[in-house]
Amino acid sequence: MRRAISLVPRGTRPTASAVNSIVKNSPSFIMQNKDLLQILDLIDAGEVVPDLGIYSDLVRLCANCRLQEHARLVHAHFQRSHFTADVFLNNSFINMYCKCGAMAEAQQIFDGMLERDMVSWTALISGYSTSATPEKAISLFPRMLAGGFFPNAYTLASLVKACGAMANGPPVCTLHCFSVKYGLNSSVFVGSAMVDVYARQGRTDEARKLFLSLPAKNEVSWNALIAGFSREGDVDSAMESFVEMQRSSGFFKASHYTYSSMFVACARIGSLEQGKWVHAHLVKSGCTFTIFLGNTLLAMYAKSGAMDDARKLFQRLRNKDLVSWNTILTACAQHGLGREAGNLLKKMIEGGRRPNEVTFLAVLTASSRCGLLEQGEEFFKMMGNYEIAPRAEHYATMVDLLARAGLLLRAESFISEMPIKPTAAVWGALLGACRMHKNWKLGELAAMRALELDPLDSGVHMLLYNLYACCGRWAEAAGVRKKMKELGVKKEPACSWVEVGNSVHVFVADDDSHPQREEIQRLWQRLHEKIKDLGYAPDVDHVLLFMDEGERENRLQSHSERMALAFALLNLPPSAPIRIKKNIRVCGDCHVAFKLVSGVLNRDIIVRDTNRFHHFRSGGCSCGDYW
Ligand code: ZN
Ligand code: ZN
């Protein structure tokens, strides 16, 4: 508040109105504890004659700062003064404490009030609705009605929010009945809150139904609905609503919030075409390009496999923040661009930006995916310079890096020296590398440790099964399957997605129901003959069933990624790149087949699995077979 004092002419006593106007103009974030103390000291020293207006302004400032100690200070000072609070000021105190998350104090003031009005009830209900105890908001409601007060739209919207935040709260539809009863059902405020709650609970069907029935809609209701679809990864519905929003409501423009929801949705399923369309729409709209929006756009390009577009956008982004850097570095990790990640990290540090644990996880993963052992070790050490304690994920990535480079024993001793308890993921990383290097003894040990921590982890069981199978230890492999059956461990069904035209098609392994099933099979047979000439021999290790060779070969042909590839080949224009997404790791045999197909047909094929991207081109893959 130094500014406050200098604004008062020298030698004159600052008046209440002078301080008052300064408090009003002072942006809340520059208000420090000591400034507040100074004002209170000025009052104590009699240099400022306080009035209720000053207290009211201070209370409002504290509510904006959301700092409990400020709130308590001002309140205590007021209690020592000769003033008594009227309803208006008491309501401000309740609001201030609610904003600062001090619900006990808010309740105390409320309880001590001799006279309460609608605002008092609504302030407290609203406070509880976003607190850790939303049920208290609900329990206040009948008391409020009993006291002869009717809810307004704000009260009802808060109650809806509270319902949404409770695990076993009353259904939101009961509040809908109240809104009808009190004539608030046409309030866009209440309607939007209800749509938002349904959408956040993942009940997008109900959100949509309610949304359609709303007599009035605004940006908030549209955005609540679109964000709900986006969170569920339902791009088609998000897109439909987005288009509908533009068409039906001439004066509601999509905001940066809407666009970022759209990019998040497209990124979720890796839908590049739709993402690009939304990007073009954004450019035309003239909507303010915030860094938050830029980061979601960046993630959309990166997660849809369009690394070139992501790079270009990243270079153009002004005011890059930590999230922008972490997004591009995570993209490098997913695309297996270890050196690029290393260079970017150096640039980031040179530019004066401080990396955090997400940054390091990204560069370590990128290093591990390319087998850049030295770089990975350097970055792992560097974490200490920034006083970042590695978490289990960082250790798991280091184990992965060491073990995949063939240093299995070093990886094992690295685990034994970890200062934190190794997680199942750490042991899983060792197990995965043991499968790669066909070391079943160490792999067995790693699997046992991982299963001690999580006996039902189907991934570990499957890896162990695969490890035994590829080492020819069929008896042990059979033992794993038996164990899985006993424990009821189920393998996650493999799924692949591919974008053709404006829709995304899903393929499930061994699914016979696809309408183009026969064409897909015929195409694979033809491709199979072609790549067999190039030396392709089906690697039946990757078929996890006991059956004869011929049958195992057939099984490979119905892997979901193969069906998706054939479907795309049948339905996409001849030179269009093919982008496939898979929910588990791409299998080794499909990897070999895809490389050959990319050469034979001269087609770019991009597969995103749970671990990374594979760019197949001219008979090779961007991962260099190191994955
Ligand atoms: Zn496969
Ligand atoms: Zn690959």
Domain for residue 2, yes or no?
Answer: yes
Domain that holds residue 418: 390-491
Query: Ligand 2 mean position to 613 CA, how many Å?
Result: 7
At 416-459, the pLDDT tens digits run 999 999 999 999 999 989 988 889 999 999 999 999 998 888 88
Between CA 236 and CA 219 the distance in angstroms is: 20
109 and 44 share one domain: yes
Query: Ligand 2 mean position to 60 CA, how many Å?
Result: 58
* DSSP-based three-state secondary structure for 606: strand
Between CA 517 and CA 510 the distance in angstroms is: 11
Which helix (DSSP H) or strand (DSSP E) does residue 616 occupy? strand 613-617
Domain for residue 136, yes or no?
Answer: no
| Nearest-ligand number for the alpha carbon of 615 | 2
449 and 500 share one domain: no
8 and 74 share one domain: yes
Domain for residue 415, yes or no?
Answer: yes
Question: For tokens 């850049």, what's the residue?
Answer: 372
Query: Ligand 2 mean position to 616 CA, how many Å?
Result: 7
461 and 499 share one domain: no
513 and 476 share one domain: no
Sheet holding 620-621, edge to edge: 503-508, 495-500, 578-582, 605-608, 613-617, 620-621
Query: Ligand 1 mean position to 556 CA, how many Å?
Result: 6
Q: What is the DSSP letter of 355?
A: P
514: Cα within 13 Å, side-chain hemisphere: 19
476 and 521 share one domain: no
Domain for residue 14, yes or no?
Answer: yes
503 and 414 share one domain: no
Q: Are 294 and 262 in contact (CB under 8 A)?
A: no
Domain for residue 231, yes or no?
Answer: no
504 and 609 share one domain: yes
Residue count of the chain: 627
Exposed/middle/buried for 12, CB within 10 Å: 0-12, 13-18, 19+? exposed
Query: Ligand 1 mean position to 221 CA, how many Å?
Result: 44
Query: Ligand 1 mean position to 451 CA, how many Å?
Result: 26
Between CA 588 and CA 182 the distance in angstroms is: 64
485 and 505 share one domain: no
Triad 295, 297, 298: Cα angle to 5°: 60
| Nearest-ligand number for the alpha carbon of 622 | 2
Domain for residue 405, yes or no?
Answer: yes
Q: Nearest CA to 439 among 484, 403, 396?
A: 403
What per-residue confidence (pLDDT) applies to 41?
Answer: 83
Q: Are 607 and 561 in contact (CB under 8 A)?
A: yes
The last residue of one of the domains, among 115, 136, 161, is: 115
| Nearest-ligand number for the alpha carbon of 605 | 2
The last residue of one of the domains, among 469, 491, 513, is: 491
Query: Ligand 2 mean position to 336 CA, how many Å?
Result: 9
Strands 578-582 and 495-500 turn out to be: antiparallel
Q: What are phi and psi of 485, to 5 degrees?
A: -65, -45
Domain for residue 145, yes or no?
Answer: no
The last residue of one of the domains, among 491, 520, 550, is: 491
- What's the average pLDDT block by block, 10 residues per block, for the chain (627 residues)? 37 54 52 69 80 85 84 91 90 95 95 93 95 93 92 92 83 82 85 90 89 86 93 89 81 86 90 91 89 95 91 93 96 92 96 95 93 95 95 95 93 95 94 90 95 89 86 88 86 82 78 78 88 80 47 65 92 89 85 93 90 90 82
What letter represents residue 247's amino acid?
R
506 and 613 share one domain: yes
Exposed/middle/buried for 458, CB within 10 Å: 0-12, 13-18, 19+? middle
| Nearest-ligand number for the alpha carbon of 586 | 1
Residues linked to residue 617 through DSSP beta bridges, in sequence order: 620
455 and 508 share one domain: no
Q: How many structural domains are present in the chain?
A: 3
DSSP string, 34-95: HHHHHHHHHHHTTSS---HHHHHHHHHHHHHHT-HHHHHHHHHHHHHSS----HHHHHHHHH
402: domain CATH number is 1.25.40.10
487 and 499 share one domain: no
Q: What are phi and psi of 499, to 5 degrees?
A: -95, 125
Query: Ligand 2 mean position to 317 CA, how many Å?
Result: 30
What per-residue confidence (pLDDT) applies to 556?
Answer: 64
Looking at the whole model, is its pTM more than 0.95?
no
Query: Ligand 1 mean position to 561 CA, how many Å?
Result: 7
Query: Ligand 1 mean position to 361 CA, how many Å?
Result: 29
| Nearest-ligand number for the alpha carbon of 612 | 2
Query: Ligand 2 mean position to 592 CA, how many Å?
Result: 9
Query: Ligand 1 mean position to 540 CA, how many Å?
Result: 10
| Nearest-ligand number for the alpha carbon of 609 | 2
Between CA 33 and CA 162 the distance in angstroms is: 32
At 120-174, the pLDDT tens digits run 999 999 999 999 999 999 999 999 999 999 899 999 999 999 988 887 777 877 8
Query: Ligand 2 mean position to 612 CA, how many Å?
Result: 9
Between CA 172 and CA 161 the distance in angstroms is: 9
What per-residue confidence (pLDDT) applies to 286?
Answer: 85
Query: Ligand 2 mean position to 392 CA, how many Å?
Result: 26
| Nearest-ligand number for the alpha carbon of 607 | 2
Between CA 251 and CA 261 the distance in angstroms is: 20
Domain for residue 320, yes or no?
Answer: no
Alpha-carbon Rg for the chain, nearest whole angstrom, is 31
Query: Ligand 2 mean position to 602 CA, how many Å?
Result: 16
| Nearest-ligand number for the alpha carbon of 559 | 1
